[in-house]
Structure 1
């Protein structure tokens, strides 16, 4: 279509109607134009009357009377009309469009600029319809300033920096602000193509436009995201935006102890793993046991941007059984941002045991039934139990009334010999543990102390008898009574003086004219009265018997010699023992007429004399290389034993003892000078043969006795030897906190020595019987 350009001055007749219409006031329609873009100014050319047509169309700008654009359709249809535009810049960029519907006709101005702003008027002339005028106010859009973003404290977030940090599930606040803009700009917050907030929080009159973004609970997905603030005065003009990176701290959303909850052993370290994820920055893992942080434990950690792992090397104690183990994940940059996983741990530990009485109180009376329980705490439960009496294993013995059954021990009709220390042991997969011993005290009525059941008491005319009655009892004796037996019957002791000291009663009694045959001692305590009295048979006092089976050997400490004998009968009176040493060595340079005999042919006085309450003597002053004769005898108030025991030819050579001895009567006649040499030689031969025989007999009997001593002993014997046992526990067993009582464990060397000491006494008795036979 051809557009003809017209000059700014009319070269045609302007009628009066056109000039007068220029000044008619017509409401203007506001149209926004974007600088540098096209704008279309509407002009409705629809005729008011049907079948009417447009004849002329003019576009005026501001108050200029000359049109900047015209369309002439007087000579044909509208689509064939001629277009005329001014030759200036605005006219050259203008063109009227009529192809669409008449009501949508418009003037298009290309590449508008600031000089194009103004009021445009469109005048339409019709054939029959009245002329129509439209005013359009073309205003160019002015974009606002670039958006600025501020945080809740009013600090501006600089370009290239991120906003935050914000906390997950806490409030997020950002304020976007622009200034200027025409028309009033829109300000919208966007995220990932979605509008977050498009509400303007400032007044329309304000030069500054503000949009405050408030997210009450910050979601996790905003961590590391970017949000956008867009400002625009016109959709056609586009928008000015500002992208804001967000820093969001996340609390851990997962923490898990991933190691299976197996039984933990106190004997070795256990590795337990915990994992945490979802935290930013990465979480720090801490371990707690029973609400307290675990100290001095080996912890291995691994960490990525959002994952943390921790391996705890845990050493547990038995007291930790049933406690809560907690793995806690904390975000150090997120106050209160933590999560935790907990589990109740189960600890395997050796049994913890103690012994307690069931139903009865300690002490118990003899004849009572007693039940003991091995009170046990163990994980896993104990599998087996053992019971011990005075450190010796108790076996099931129905005949004796001793019946261990798992964790219980039943004793029927308990006797005094079953008193003592009872302990138990329990075993599970973690080991065996022994309890502290429980002392079982058995109360019993008095009974004669061993060795004091029946005794002979020697009586001297007109002298007071001093008799000691020893009894055993628990509790202590509360009363003693004495009786004596004559041909007329049993009578209470009268006129005697009794001194009671604990479980010993001492009677000082002077028999009268009655023929006293025996005395009896009775004792009572809270349990009852003694069933059988202690008897003392009155016999005329006699001199003691001579000791028997005397032996000479090196002293145990390696210095000197030791002489031991077996005591004979005491004759009813207290006896003591005497050892005399005679030097029978010939002088190294004998002079004529010098001898060790006295003028009467007896030995010279003894070199020294040793006294003792027992027939056991140690000789420390013997000189090596000399020959000695040793005499041993007993004596009491009645006199000396006869004949004494003579040990001849005793010699100490280089710490080795030469033993050549025979037994003979001291009062026997001495040999004459003519026969002395032959007698001595014969004696030496006989003594040597006898000594060899005795040594052989002693060896045989010693071996037999030692074997007999090693046989298992009864419970009563064990009780008597208890104080000599070692208290050291077996290394392979674990003890309870209280440990074992003294003497609970294996026999010590001292105990074995005491056993063999007793055997020596038995050996001596056997030798005595053999020799006597």
Structure 2
């Protein structure tokens, strides 16, 4: 029996003076077992808007046995859309009664579905049938002793004609009565029906109700041309919730079309896929195979089918690819810290599932040590872990590494954080100044050579002061993030003509000593333009 783990819950009820003991046996997984063989397949048709009856034989192989649970599944899903569990109920005299508890997926069938056991065989009734109800339904029956039974039902939704027209031989539409016609005179009526399916038989019959067996009829098979109707499914042997990096997956594009489709186009996140054997992308008839998938293969897939009547895109199928943690930032992160200074180190990873356990180590002179006294954890939150690290001696400078582990596995390459002594940056040097034109504006350009950054990210500043008054005329930042390059509009310095420049670097520890450019003289525009 594919019962999984059984849980027994005893419940006592007091109803109208009777005491009942209720024992519930619950299938812990409630999932479709891929090893379960389908022993019977049936075809069922239902008219749109009416009730579909999906048979499922729940009779045990022996009279003493009984049903524990009935589960219904849709297409290739592993989670049920309907479940009916059976309870054994005893009154105070020890007599046994059966009681059923049912549940239905509100996103699939909801209250439209209910299981009927008084019929032979039992059946799932699905009311107010919709177009998207069409498909394959699977029934699994678990017994106390007998082997599990599995059945498959293919439901077809029939869309009835929504318009029926009858025309006489002159092409005039007949509203209710045709005729009268003279005896012996030939006449013709034509029927036009809209909404019938391709391949169905259409019958037209004319009769005289005043005479017995006085009728004529004709029928023919409909050949309805229509653009493709497309459905996309993940491979039937795959579990959508258990696909991980390195697996092979495939999709099946099911197409109904008349005339037959002549082309299928596959898309991943909106981008067209092409066959590429070296990349593991293989297309065959109506299937797409992806070999050795990675994280970048996750996302939304569609197939588009084309024929002479048009083209149709399938509903989206999302592919989830689970993988072990990897660093969000691939580069080594530099962290500057003084002795006895606490710095917060944040390790962030990408992972699916996102429940990750983290492991921190410290590396100095090629040896790895578990992070202990000089650090404390500031908490883990899914795919992020924070560590407060305090270097207490020169030996505590080195590389902190962080690895994550989730249900798929342990992170292969760690995230690396290089902890170095942090100081103020060194001053800028070799500064030069030149004048230039920029869109008819006169520009002074100052360029320097950066010094040591102190182990931290540094920025560059320039200040221009008037010599006579000492007033600050310009405060500018470098136009480059990596190099100290400053551009000053001459108009911002005027009317002063004699000034000096101060340049320096800044990081989180403070600012460097200044570099001074003294005795800068502005000449008349005509004299210094272009120099």
The alignment's TM-score, normalised by the length of structure 1, stands at 0.37
* Counterpart Cα distance in 1 of 2:368 and 2:298: 35
Q: Does 1:483 align with 2:361?
A: yes
User: 1:730-764 CA distances to partner (integer Å, 9 max, x unpaired)?
Assistant: xxxxxxxxxxxxxxxxxxxxxxxxxxxxxxxxxxx
Q: Which residue of 2 aligns with 1:637?
A: 508
How far 1:452 moved relative to its partner?
Answer: 3.9
Contact 1:544-1:635 at 8 Å conserved across structures:
yes
Contact 1:445-1:530 at 8 Å conserved across structures:
yes
Q: Which residue of 2 aligns with 1:534?
A: 415
In structure 2, do the counterparts of structure 1 residues 291 and 424 end up closer, same or farther at CA, with 3 Å as the change threshold? closer
Q: Does 1:512 align with 2:376?
A: no
Structure possessing the higher relative contact order (Cα contacts under 8 Å, 6 or more residues apart): 2
How far 1:480 moved relative to its partner?
Answer: 0.5
Q: Choose from 298, 306, 315 the match for 1:436.
A: 315
How far 1:508 moved relative to its partner?
Answer: 0.8
Q: Which residue of 2 aligns with 1:281?
A: none
Q: Does 1:523 align with 2:398?
A: no
Correspondence list, 1:199-210, <5 A: none
Contact 1:543-1:639 at 8 Å conserved across structures:
yes
Runs of 5+ consecutive residues of structure 1 not aligned to the other structure: 1-288, 547-551, 555-566, 583-595, 616-624, 644-664, 687-773
In structure 2, do the counterparts of structure 1 residues 461 and 357 end up closer, same or farther at CA, with 3 Å as the change threshold? same
* Counterpart Cα distance in 1 of 2:504 and 2:207: 95
* Counterpart Cα distance in 2 of 1:439 and 1:429: 29
* Counterpart Cα distance in 1 of 2:384 and 2:330: 11
* Counterpart Cα distance in 1 of 2:349 and 2:324: 10
User: 1:284-325 CA distances to partner (integer Å, 9 max, x unpaired)?
Assistant: xxxxx9876734788834965344323455555xx6223332
Q: Does 1:677 align with 2:523?
A: yes
Q: Does 1:348 align with 2:225?
A: yes
How far 1:491 moved relative to its partner?
Answer: 0.7
Q: Does 1:597 align with 2:466?
A: yes
How far 1:445 moved relative to its partner?
Answer: 0.7
Correspondence list, 1:89-108, <5 A: none
User: 1:503-530 CA distances to partner (integer Å, 9 max, x unpaired)?
Assistant: 1111111122234311000100000000
Contact 2:245-2:322 at 8 Å conserved across structures:
yes
Contact 1:475-1:526 at 8 Å conserved across structures:
yes
* Counterpart Cα distance in 2 of 1:668 and 1:291: 91
Higher helix proportion: 1
How far 1:536 moved relative to its partner?
Answer: 0.9
* Counterpart Cα distance in 1 of 2:323 and 2:252: 23
SS in structure 2 of the partner of residue 399 of structure 1: helix
In structure 2, do the counterparts of structure 1 residues 365 and 293 end up closer, same or farther at CA, with 3 Å as the change threshold? closer
In structure 2, do the counterparts of structure 1 residues 465 and 501 end up closer, same or farther at CA, with 3 Å as the change threshold? same
SS in structure 2 of the partner of residue 456 of structure 1: strand
SS in structure 1 of the partner of residue 305 of structure 2: strand
In structure 2, do the counterparts of structure 1 residues 414 and 571 end up closer, same or farther at CA, with 3 Å as the change threshold? farther
Correspondence list, 1:299-378, <5 A: 300-301=171-172, 304-305=181-182, 306-312=185-191, 315-316=194-195, 320-331=197-208, 338-358=215-235, 359-363=237-241, 364-378=243-257
Correspondence list, 1:562-581, <5 A: 572-573=455-456
Contact 1:301-1:309 at 8 Å conserved across structures:
no
Q: Does 1:392 align with 2:271?
A: yes
Contact 2:305-2:311 at 8 Å conserved across structures:
yes
SS in structure 2 of the partner of residue 308 of structure 1: coil
In structure 2, do the counterparts of structure 1 residues 579 and 330 end up closer, same or farther at CA, with 3 Å as the change threshold? farther
Q: Does 1:454 align with 2:325?
A: no
Correspondence list, 1:650-689, <5 A: 667-672=516-521, 676-677=522-523, 684-686=529-531
Runs of 5+ consecutive residues of structure 2 not aligned to the other structure: 1-157, 174-178, 429-436, 440-449, 483-489, 495-500
In structure 2, do the counterparts of structure 1 residues 340 and 641 end up closer, same or farther at CA, with 3 Å as the change threshold? farther
* Counterpart Cα distance in 2 of 1:448 and 1:462: 28
Contact 2:376-2:388 at 8 Å conserved across structures:
yes
The alignment's TM-score, normalised by the length of structure 2, stands at 0.52
Alpha-carbon RMSD across the aligned residues, in angstroms, is 4.4
In structure 2, do the counterparts of structure 1 residues 361 and 541 end up closer, same or farther at CA, with 3 Å as the change threshold? same
User: 1:578-617 CA distances to partner (integer Å, 9 max, x unpaired)?
Assistant: 899x9xxxxxxxxxxxxx83645453476xx999xx99xx
SS in structure 2 of the partner of residue 537 of structure 1: strand
SS in structure 2 of the partner of residue 365 of structure 1: coil
Q: Which residue of 2 aligns with 1:426?
A: 305
Q: Which residue of 1 aligns with 2:92?
A: none
User: 1:363-406 CA distances to partner (integer Å, 9 max, x unpaired)?
Assistant: 41111111111122222332222222222222221111111122
SS in structure 2 of the partner of residue 378 of structure 1: strand
In structure 2, do the counterparts of structure 1 residues 312 and 365 end up closer, same or farther at CA, with 3 Å as the change threshold? same
In structure 2, do the counterparts of structure 1 residues 506 and 604 end up closer, same or farther at CA, with 3 Å as the change threshold? same
Q: Which residue of 2 aligns with 1:728?
A: none
* Counterpart Cα distance in 2 of 1:553 and 1:420: 48
How far 1:574 moved relative to its partner?
Answer: 6.3
User: 1:646-703 CA distances to partner (integer Å, 9 max, x unpaired)?
Assistant: xxxxxxxxxxxxxxxxxxx7x311325xxx316x6565314xxxxxxxxxxxxxxxxx
* Counterpart Cα distance in 1 of 2:320 and 2:330: 23
Give the number of the structure whose alpha-carbon radius of gyration is greater: 1
Contact 1:301-1:310 at 8 Å conserved across structures:
no
Q: Which residue of 2 aligns with 1:177?
A: none
Number of residue equivalences: 327
User: 1:335-355 CA distances to partner (integer Å, 9 max, x unpaired)?
Assistant: 996543333313222222222
In structure 2, do the counterparts of structure 1 residues 411 and 533 end up closer, same or farther at CA, with 3 Å as the change threshold? same
* Counterpart Cα distance in 1 of 2:355 and 2:218: 68
User: 1:68-96 CA distances to partner (integer Å, 9 max, x unpaired)?
Assistant: xxxxxxxxxxxxxxxxxxxxxxxxxxxxx
Contact 2:265-2:303 at 8 Å conserved across structures:
yes
Correspondence list, 1:23-422, <5 A: 294-295=163-164, 300-301=171-172, 304-305=181-182, 306-312=185-191, 315-316=194-195, 320-331=197-208, 338-358=215-235, 359-363=237-241, 364-422=243-301
Contact 2:397-2:420 at 8 Å conserved across structures:
no
Q: Which residue of 2 aligns with 1:649?
A: none
Correspondence list, 1:598-617, <5 A: 599=468, 601-604=470-473
* Counterpart Cα distance in 1 of 2:245 and 2:319: 11
